[in-house]
Amino acid sequence: MTFGPAVGNVGMYVAREMLAAVPEDQRQAYLRMVEEISELKYQLGVEVARQLPRLLAEHEPEAVARYLDQVRQVAAVGWKSGVEVAKQLPDLYEAPDEQLAEHYVDIIADATKGPPEDTETAQLAEELVELERELREMEPKVKRAQELKSLLAARDRRDEKRRKHAVELAAALPPILARLRPRYRPPYLAQVRQVAAADPEASLEAADTLLDLLNGERVSPEGAAEWVARGLEVLERNKEVGRGYFRLGSKYALQVLDELKEGLALKSVARVLKLYATALSGHDVAIRGTNELQAMDVYTAEHIVLPPEMRFFEDDERNFTAYKVATAHGAGRIEFGTYGFTLTAVPDLVADLRARYPEGATA
């Protein structure tokens, strides 16, 4: 069975038995009617499709048209009432009083429509719909506003943290400057200023590290500038990693430092030099860097004080030789008692010399 081009989706509402009950020459019209009514509401189409075969079989086309009009009339004010009316009307058409169906439709339509003040409800509903539409339109703006709020709050927290670290830097810097060798102050301040401008927290780390690097002569002022420049690049990419760099807590920071380091590090040869000096002098000699002077009393123990880096020569071998010469010199002083001299020994020494070289004696 085919329905032709006008039928559309009407097959959804019309069962095979219903269509079979419609006289064959009226089937196209039946299907069209069902389709038209179902455009108002799906449930109306279902009910009308169920009732129409009977009406088409028992009544004139005018009666069928009146049925559809009356259903539409009621459905216009309430589709649920329309469905019920579509179901009840065919039976009312059978009544002897032809006016009965018409009155029934009017009553149900009025009842569904309600009092005239309900137009206000409709207005309210319309207004609500409008507002909801506007709210939907506002949603992206609200979302953006929340984003901006969070962003500003984060910036506020960051600025607060920044101010806090700036205060800490203000307290920490003077004692560090007091410990810094005067000749390193200008390059030190220039480097710390750069880091502080980028991130005060990182500058706290950098202030300490640069003090050790410059005071300990582990890098030249130019080397320190290069080390800071590379650290600032890291800081720009990631604050936390950058702070780690400036506290020498990253492999990269140490690697850069190693690249920039000039000469031979004392710590890498300190034990060899200690053994060398101990063997030469016969005393238990300690090797100390000039950067450790604050932590020891150089006159109370057998120390040989050497620079933490030796960079007289290009190659480590000759730098080691320079260390060795300085160590041998220090070992000689320890062995022959330069630092063991006391004033109380002077009288004995004079007496000894006098005995050895008596007055009037000739060479």
Partner 1 sequence: MGVESQRIEDFRLTKEPYYLPLGNEVELFEAAYHGGLPVMLKGPTGCGKTRFVEHMAWRLERTLVTVACHEDLTASDLVGKYTLRGDETVWQDGPLTTAVKSGGIAYLDEIVEARKDTTVVIHPLTDDRRILPLEKKGEVVAAPGEFQLVISYNPGYQSVLKDLKHSTKQRFVAIDFDYPPPDAEETILKTESGVDDDVAAKLVKIAEKVRNLRTHGLEEGVSTRLLVYAGQLIGRGVTPIAACEATICKPITDDLEMQRSIVEIIATQF
* Binding footprint of partner 1 on the chain (CB under 8 A): 271-276, 278-282, 284, 324, 328
Q: Where are the alpha helices (DSSP H) in the chain?
A: 16-21, 27-38, 42-58, 61-77, 79-92, 99-113, 118-179, 185-198, 200-215, 221-237, 239-246, 251-260, 266-281, 316-335, 346-356
- By beta-carbon proximity to partner 1, the closer residue of 247 and 324 is 324
CB of 283 to partner 1, least distance (A): 8
Please spell the DSSP secondary structure of 236-249, one letter per residue: HH-HHHHHHHHTT-
Cβ(162)–Cβ(200) below 8 Å = yes
- By beta-carbon proximity to partner 1, the closer residue of 77 and 286 is 286
- By beta-carbon proximity to partner 1, the closer residue of 13 and 320 is 320
- The span from the CA of 323 to the CA of 307, in Å, is 9
CB of 314 to partner 1, least distance (A): 21
Report in angstroms the alpha-carbon separations of 127 from 131, 137, 139, 161, 176.
6, 15, 18, 49, 71
Cα–chain-centroid distance for residue 50?
64
- By beta-carbon proximity to partner 1, the closer residue of 71 and 277 is 277
Cβ(15)–Cβ(44) below 8 Å = no
CB of 265 to partner 1, least distance (A): 15
CB of 275 to partner 1, least distance (A): 4
Cβ(3)–Cβ(10) below 8 Å = yes
- The span from the CA of 289 to the CA of 303, in Å, is 10
Structure tokens at 280: 């030469």
Distance separating the N- and C-terminal Cα atoms of the chain: 151
- By beta-carbon proximity to partner 1, the closer residue of 191 and 281 is 281
| Residue 10 burial (C-beta neighbours within 10 Å; 0-12, 13-18, 19+) | buried
- By beta-carbon proximity to partner 1, the closer residue of 215 and 281 is 281
- By beta-carbon proximity to partner 1, the closer residue of 209 and 281 is 281
- By beta-carbon proximity to partner 1, the closer residue of 227 and 323 is 323
CB of 244 to partner 1, least distance (A): 32
CB of 222 to partner 1, least distance (A): 32
- By beta-carbon proximity to partner 1, the closer residue of 31 and 273 is 273
Number of Cβ atoms within 10 Å of the Cβ of 286 = 16
CB of 257 to partner 1, least distance (A): 24
CB of 272 to partner 1, least distance (A): 5
CB of 346 to partner 1, least distance (A): 30
Cβ(210)–Cβ(192) below 8 Å = yes
User: Residue type at 305?
Assistant: V
Q: What is the 3-state secondary structure (H, E, C) of 131-178?
A: HHHHHHHHHHHHHHHHHHHHHHHHHHHHHHHHHHHHHHHHHHHHHHHH
